[in-house]
A = this chain, B = another copy of it.
Amino acid sequence: MSGATLEERAARVALTWLAEPGNRTVWTLVQQAGAVATLQHVLDGDVPDGRLRSAVKARTAVGDPRRIAEIALRRAERLGARLVVPGDDEWPSRVDDLAGLELDTGGRINQDTRPPLCFWVRGVWPLEATLERSVAIVGARAATSYGAHVATDMAFGLAERDWTVLSGGAFGVDAAAHRGALAAGGRTVAVLACGVDRPYPVGNSAMFEQIIEQGLLVSEWPIGAEPLRHRFLIRNRVIAAVTAGTVVVEAAARSGATQTMSRVLALNRPAMVVPGPVTSAMSVGCHEILRGNPYSRLVTSALDVLEEVGRIGEYLAEPPRGPEHRRDNLDEESALVLEAVPPRGTATPEELAAAARMSLRTVLRRLSLLEVAGLVTRRDGGIALVSEKPPESTDPI
């Protein structure tokens, strides 16, 4: 939480509901006059943007935006979701780079590239710290087994090295990336184009549950929002902006990946591409980007990716560590394992399993999480609680 008033927070929600996120006029007005005054202007039709006026008229015919924001906030609370706005400790400052993004192609979509007004978040990790060392892995829904394998493997390697793997939660490459990070016991973030109460697609529900437990679900859209087609393109600018770099694993010819990559490059982030067989339709888009864009970079592994993001100085940054008070938000199993760790000295995983009355496998999995959270550490061949003083800087490889 920050100095933003409840009224300001609710106004940001209402504005996101009235006009799609990224709207240039709305964002500019909010910067000038704040969200509360902007909401009043927008509702009064007092904006220099005919398209926005029509959109607002259509939306207010459906419902009262202030009332809808209130309901969304109440439902979020029940769901365990939180609203994050600029000025909050966990606001991901990197996303504000979108304020300077000017794409040289015309058209409606490119008008909608301003920073978000707010984020809805599910999961215990602080948003900004989690995104600081993050890489996006995205690609085709119709991934081949090759693409799924590479995405999983790369995500596993990044998560193992304490990097957050971010993706869009879709079938194919996205899901493979999330799952790879989850399998490594690492952090993963799904940025959705709909409400965090109804992550899409439903076929990935079990995975989303695991992401909520082990990482974060994030969206600009209020609780209840549907995954409309155009929202994915708007969402993509956030994927490009909040990460240290983006990797495309598989993409068909002339796919959305090219658009995402032009945003990544416009934001001065590494635009990384995994090559594939030139005989595979699912690699045509990847090779198009590599041939068409001299600043795009070919990557073949997690280590290649770290080399690229390392070039912009992120690589050596401190891994994010969950603050002590996050203990309260731990899942039950992790809390039990943490409780079993002795206050002084160390215990072996086997001793912890005995003390917590859990299987060794579960203990090891939970220990990975607790270690990433900075709550426990390996020392003298055993597990120890992390002391209060800040940890030594760790080598990320």
Interface bin, chain A: 20 to 34
Query: A290 within 8 Å of B by Cβ?
Result: yes
| B277 and A304 contacting across the interface, CB-CB below 8 Å | no
Taking beta carbons and an 8 Å cutoff, which residues of A are in contact with B? 146, 149-150, 274-279, 283-284, 287, 290-291, 297-301, 304
CB neighbours of A284 from chain B (8 A): 300
Partner of A300, one of B149, B278, B298: B278
| B304 and A291 contacting across the interface, CB-CB below 8 Å | yes
Partner of A275, one of B146, B149, B297, B298: B298
CB neighbours of A146 from chain B (8 A): 277, 279
A300 and B274 contact, Cβ closer than 8 Å, known pairs A150-B279, A279-B146, A279-B150: no
Q: What are 5 A-B pairs at a CB distance below 8 A?
A: A275-B278, A275-B290, A275-B298, A291-B299, A291-B304
A276 and B274 contact, Cβ closer than 8 Å, known pairs A287-B298, A300-B287: no
CB proximity of A18 to chain B, nearest CB, Å: 45
Compute how far the CA of A300 lies from the CA of B287 in the bound complex, rounded to whole angstroms.
Answer: 8
Q: Secondary structure at chain A's binding surface: helix, strand, loop or mixed?
A: mixed
| Copies of this subunit | 2
Compute how far the CA of A283 lies from the CA of B150 in the bound complex, rounded to whole angstroms.
Answer: 15
Compute how far the CA of A277 lies from the CA of B298 in the bound complex, rounded to whole angstroms.
Answer: 12
CB proximity of A281 to chain B, nearest CB, Å: 12
CB neighbours of A275 from chain B (8 A): 275-276, 278, 283, 287, 290, 298
Compute how far the CA of A284 lies from the CA of B275 in the bound complex, rounded to whole angstroms.
Answer: 11
| B278 and A301 contacting across the interface, CB-CB below 8 Å | yes
Specify the chain B residue showing the minimal Cβ separation from A286: B275
Compute how far the CA of A300 lies from the CA of B284 in the bound complex, rounded to whole angstroms.
Answer: 9
CB neighbours of A298 from chain B (8 A): 275, 287, 290-291, 298
| B276 and A150 contacting across the interface, CB-CB below 8 Å | no
Partner of A291, one of B150, B276, B287, B297: B297
CB proximity of A74 to chain B, nearest CB, Å: 48
Compute how far the CA of A276 lies from the CA of B150 in the bound complex, rounded to whole angstroms.
Answer: 13
CB neighbours of A291 from chain B (8 A): 297-300, 304
Specify the chain B residue showing the minimal Cβ separation from A154: B278
Sample of 14 more A-B contacts, CB < 8 Å, known A150-B278, A290-B290, A291-B299: A150-B279, A274-B278, A275-B283, A275-B287, A275-B290, A275-B298, A276-B276, A276-B278, A277-B277, A278-B301, A287-B300, A291-B298, A291-B300, A291-B304
CB proximity of A151 to chain B, nearest CB, Å: 11
CB proximity of A153 to chain B, nearest CB, Å: 9
CB proximity of A289 to chain B, nearest CB, Å: 10
CB proximity of A293 to chain B, nearest CB, Å: 11
CB proximity of A287 to chain B, nearest CB, Å: 5
Compute how far the CA of A177 lies from the CA of B252 in the bound complex, rounded to whole angstroms.
Answer: 27
CB proximity of A237 to chain B, nearest CB, Å: 27
The 10 closest A-B pairs by CB, nearest first: A275-B275, A278-B300, A290-B298, A287-B300, A291-B298, A277-B277, A276-B277, A146-B277, A150-B278, A274-B278
